[in-house]
Amino acid sequence: MTAEALPAEMAGSDRGAWIPHVVLVAGLALVLFPVYVAFVASSLTLRDILDAPMTLVPGPHLFANLRAALAEGTVATSGQGVGAMMANSLVMALAVAIGKIAISLPSAYAVVFFRFPLRRLCFWLIFVTLMLPVEVRIIPTYQVAADLRLIDSYAGLALPLIASATATLLFRQFFLTIPDEIVEAAKLDGAGPWRFFIRIAIPLSRTNIAALFVILFIYGWNQYLWPLLVTNSPAMTTIVIGIRQMIGNGDAQTAWQLVMATALLAMLPPIAVVLAMQRWFVAGLIEPEK
């Protein structure tokens, strides 16, 4: 896409056309180095890791370490395996992504396609949430979750993170671009608002839905502060919280080979989702915010 857009004159007359590649390869190294070191560390024994300087050549223990982390975790997680934590993270990420899309589509549809009393108030009630991330209202939100008996539940993990208007704003902008002619034509064909919503508005939004799904899945999977507060039971620990428990004091006692194996496991699902859905995700990330 970049390449074709460049006029031949400017691309062709390059002295030093190699410079961008050198800079970009340095960029790749910067991005990949910490991840590569984690990969190498998770293929070594703790003794290899602590023997500074640690080798940069992968050892033979990758699968043994991954298996040990997945099944048993470490002493610090009292036998709770990372596999169970990943399942919790997955439920949370899916609940946040699907839940937010599921409540945002109808509300955006309502404010765009209807006129009703208090419409403006509803609109502002929802949109004011854009201003404040969950981190700034963390203690009162915890108290609400506690009052509703949502501590140590998936609903408690996901619901407060769903209370934000980013998705609603995106769908609203998209619904505003649906041509009036389509709506009039559908009405002439006898389609009511519900039918139009299900048969036309939602299918037309599928690119936006895909993009939001990626963004929200990553957002949900990567949460830290809120799960730290709202879960106490080891059975509800997410992987991002679990790794914190495994590090402990961060000294030589820490089972670093397992911590790094867990870090790999924690990075894998969100990276896989981004890679698999990159095209939609990039479009969805850039377009609504510009």
Partner 1 sequence: MERRAIFAGRLLPALLLTPQLTVTIVFFIWPAAQALLQSVRREDAFGLSRHFVGLDNFAAILADPFYLASVEISFVFGFAVAVLALALGLLFAVMADRVVRGATFYKTVLLMPYAIAPAIAGVLWLFLFNPSFGIVGSALRRIGIDWNFLLDGRQALLVVTLAAAWKQIGYNFLFFLAGLQAIPKSLLEAAALDGAGRRRRFWRITFPLLAPTSFFLLVVNIVYAFFDTFGIIQNVTGGGPDKATEILVFRVWYDGVVGLDIGGSAAQSVILMAIVIALTAAQFRFVERRVHYT
Give the nearest distance from C-beta 272 to partner 1 in angstroms. 9
Report, in Å, the least distance between residue 62 CB and partner 1. Answer: 16
The answer to whether 65 contacts partner 1 (rule: CB under 8 A) is no
Residue 87 near partner 1 by CB under 8 A: no
Amino acid at 73: G
Q: In whole angstroms, what is the distance from residue 44 CA to residue 62 CA? A: 7
Among 64, 103, 200, 204, binds partner 1 (CB under 8 A): 103
Which x/- pattern over 230-259 shows residues binding partner 1 (rule: CB under 8 A)? ----------x--xx--x--x-x---x--x
Q: Give whole-number Cα distances, 184 to 113, 172, 187, in Å.
A: 12, 19, 5
- Per DSSP, the three-state class of 131 is coil
Q: What is the DSSP letter of 102?
A: H
Which one of 43, 77, 88, 141 is in contact with partner 1 (CB under 8 A)? Answer: 141
Rounded Cα distance, 202 and 164, in Å: 20
Distance, in Å, from the CA atom of 244 to the CA atom of 259, rounded to the nearest integer, reads: 9
Is 24 a binder of partner 1 (CB under 8 A)?
yes
Which window, 57-65, 66-74, 79-87, 100-108, contacts partner 1 (CB under 8 A)? 100-108
Out of 84, 95, 229, 261, point to the residue binding partner 1 (CB under 8 A). Answer: 229
Binding mask 269-288 for partner 1 (x = CB under 8 A): -xx-xxx--x---x--xx--
Residue 85 makes contact with partner 1 by CB under 8 A = no
Nearer to partner 1, 56 or 78 (CB): 56
Closest distance between partner 1 and the C-beta of residue 159, in Å? 6
Among 71, 225, 235, 276, binds partner 1 (CB under 8 A): 225
Is residue 139 involved in binding partner 1 (CB under 8 A)? yes
Closest to partner 1 by CB, 114 or 203: 114
198 binds partner 1 (CB under 8 A): no
Is residue 47 near partner 1 by the rule CB under 8 A?
Answer: no
The answer to the question of residue 30 lying near partner 1 (CB under 8 A) is yes
Q: How far apart are CA 110 and CA 117, in angstroms?
A: 12
Which residue of 68, 92, 97, 260 would you call a contact of partner 1, by CB under 8 A?
A: 260
CB of 7 to partner 1, least distance (A): 6
Using alpha carbons only, give the angle 61, 270, 28 rounded to the nearest 5 degrees: 75
DSSP letter assigned to residue 128: G
- Tell me if 169 contacts partner 1 by CB under 8 A: no
Distance from C-alpha of 119 to C-alpha of 191, rounded to nearest angstrom? 23
Rounded distance between C-alpha atoms, residue 43 and residue 132, angstroms: 42
Tokens 């990553």: give the residue.
Answer: 218
State both tokens at 172: 């609203």
CA 216/CA 167 separation, integer angstroms:
9
3-class state of residue 192 by DSSP: coil
Tokens of residue 249, six digits:
């004091």
